[in-house]
Amino acid sequence: MAPATFDEIVQLVGDIDPSTVRRIEELGASVDEVAEALGLLEGQRELALDPTSPRVTEVRALLAEALPAETADDDDEYRAVM
């Protein structure tokens, strides 16, 4: 798999600090790896899935720092709808 480009990473993760995008790009992560790391942060947290590679773990850590964290209020609102 070819490493994801700066533009591909931005397209996947949205508007984040360009220095974070560069760090992900420098890791050589593919589009699939970035997508997996993002998926592990969004909506799949409760499944406790393990990343498929150390690089996915690194990308997930970078994204966790860069993306806004969910608040407890958001979680409570989600549970109330369920």
The model's pLDDT over 43-70, given as tens digits with 9 standing for 90+, comes to 655 555 677 889 998 999 999 999 876 5
C-alpha 52: how far from its chain's center? 14
Are residues 67 and 61 in contact, defined by beta-carbon separation less than 8 angstroms?
A: no
> End-to-end CA distance of the chain, in Å?
39
Give the mean pLDDT of 28-32. Answer: 95
* Alpha carbon separation from 32 to 22, 55, 76 (Å, rounded): 17, 11, 31
- Residue 75 clears pLDDT 90, i.e. is over it: no
pLDDT of residue 73: 47
Mean pLDDT, range 24-49, rounded to an integer: 82
Residue-averaged pLDDT of the chain: 81
Tokens 């990308």 correspond to: 59
Distance CA 10, CA 25 (A): 10
The pTM (predicted TM-score) of the whole model is 0.75
